[in-house]
């Protein structure tokens, strides 16, 4: 149903910037837990005292969103062309409630929380981002997936008229961008759909109107500007592992022990780096969220299932 007009997220619904700023102080002082406010149990999970929040202008100007070009600065330059209102999402596959839904109908009534997560790209850089997110489990459960639903697949918008990267003839990506999760990964309390950052509406270059965030996986799993959700029995394909299966896997869990053919994953450049200080630090297993998520993969060979 595409009935209601998409309304912008009202600022009253999300953390105001002043609250965010006080929270930032909490983070810097190391007072991570129990900051009160609307911060949920997992809001600051695994955050370390040296995890300073990355400045907003960097989070919104240094992006990999190949639909808008392959340079880090391309998305910020081009993404304003994308229409995010109205935004229809198709839900299909192994679930009771399938069909076309308006984005705002799906998220209406669901609680928004600020989650400050590390974000680790497979290219060996990382940031710390205060997302405004909604529990992915709460979102998915609305569609009542059935017993056959073992995986969930997501797709990004395809609209070459508004996405210059999809018009290029020298791209080897077969649009749309697809990603997927196992259902237990999707239902993990750390998994969210982000609808904002820094207490504001999500900018287009960061994947408006909503994008996945799974903080223990490399950034390419966290698919942006989602228009399709499909519940499947079999493991869905994902764009980067289709392009280079020996370089990118389905799981893509952050793992300093398994290096990528192009980048050692043992450490990362925490942005912003500066000329005199590359700001390099060791990468943590599961991006520092091992306590919360390692049990999802017990018994699995993580070198083979990279």
Partner 1 sequence: MITHNQFVKAIVFICLVAPLCWLGWQISLELQQPGSALGADPGEAIVHYLGEWSIRILLFAFSITPLRRLLKSRALARTRRMVGLFAFTYVVMHLLAYLFFYLEFNWSGMWVEILERPYITVGMLALACLLPMAITSTGGWQRRLGRNWRLLHRMIYAAITLALIHLWWLTKDGFEDLVVYTLWFMVLLWFRWRNVSQQLR
Q: List interacting residues with partner 1 (CB under 8 A).
A: 55, 57-58, 61-62, 66, 69-70, 72-73, 125, 165, 168, 170-173, 243-244, 259, 261-262, 264, 269, 271-275, 278, 280
Nearest distance, CB of residue 237 and partner 1, angstroms: 17
CB of 265 to partner 1, least distance (A): 12
Q: Distance (Å, rounded) from C-alpha 156 to C-alpha 92?
A: 15
Q: Tell me the closest approach of the beta carbon of residue 66 to partner 1, in angstroms.
A: 6
Q: Closer to partner 1 at the Cβ: 66 or 216?
A: 66
CB of 172 to partner 1, least distance (A): 6
Residue 305 beta carbon to partner 1: minimum distance, rounded to whole angstroms? 21
Element (H, E) at 239: helix 239-243
Are 212 and 137 in contact by the 8 Å Cβ rule? The answer is no
Residue among 147 and 261 whose Cβ is closer to partner 1: 261
Q: What is the C-alpha separation between 241 and 233, in angstroms, rounded?
A: 19
HSE, CB side, 13 Å, CA atoms: give it for residue 138.
16
Q: Which is nearer to partner 1, 38 or 267 (CB)?
A: 267
Residue spans of alpha helices (H) in 45-108: 56-59, 74-78, 103-107
Bridge partners, 253 (sequence order) = 217
Question: Own/partner pairs for 144-149, CB < 8 Å, 24+ apart?
Answer: 144/95, 144/96, 144/97, 145/94, 145/95, 145/96, 145/183, 145/231, 146/94, 146/95, 146/96, 146/231, 147/94, 148/94, 148/231, 148/233, 149/93, 149/94, 149/95, 149/183, 149/231, 149/232, 149/233
Nearer to partner 1, 113 or 238 (CB): 238
C-alpha span between 197 and 210 (Å, rounded): 11
Q: Which is nearer to partner 1, 66 or 143 (CB)?
A: 66
CB of 229 vs partner 1, minimal distance in Å:
25
Nearer residue to partner 1 within complex by CB, 59 or 254: 59
């Amino acid at each position: 149903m595409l009935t209601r007009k998409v309304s912008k997220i009202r600022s009253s619904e999300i953390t105001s910037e002043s609250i965010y700023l006080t929270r930032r102080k909490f983070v810097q002082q190391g007072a991570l837990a129990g900051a009160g406010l609307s911060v949920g149990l997992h809001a600051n999970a695994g955050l370390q005292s040296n995890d300073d929040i990355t400045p907003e202008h960097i989070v919104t100007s240094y992006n990999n969103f190949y639909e808008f070009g392959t340079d880090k600065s391309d998305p910020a330059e081009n993404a304003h062309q994308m229409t995010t209102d109205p935004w229809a999402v198709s839900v299909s596959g192994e679930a009771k409630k399938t069909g076309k839904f308006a984005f705002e109908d799906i998220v209406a009534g669901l609680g928004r929380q600020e989650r400050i997560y590390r974000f680790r790209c497979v290219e060996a850089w990382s940031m710390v981002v205060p997302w405004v997110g909604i529990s992915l489990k709460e979102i998915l459960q609305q569609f009542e997936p059935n017993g056959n639903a073992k995986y969930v697949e997501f797709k990004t918008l395809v609209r070459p008229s508004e996405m210059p990267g999809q018009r290029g003839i020298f791209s080897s990506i077969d649009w749309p961008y697809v990603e997927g999760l196992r259902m237990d990964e999707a239902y993990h309390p750390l998994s969210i759909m982000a609808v904002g950052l820094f207490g504001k509406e999500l900018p287009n270059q960061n994947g408006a109107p909503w994008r996945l965030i799974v903080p223990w996986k490399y950034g390419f799993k966290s698919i942006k500007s989602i228009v399709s959700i499909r519940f499947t029995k079999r493991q869905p394909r994902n764009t980067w592992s289709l392009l280079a299966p020996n370089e990118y896997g389905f799981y893509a869990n952050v793992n300093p022990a398994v290096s990528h053919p192009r980048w050692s994953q043992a450490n990362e450049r925490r942005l912003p780096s500066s000329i005199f200080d590359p700001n390099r630090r060791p990468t943590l297993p599961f991006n520092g969220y091992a306590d919360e998520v390692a049990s999802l993969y017990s018994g699995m060979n993580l070198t083979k299932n990279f």
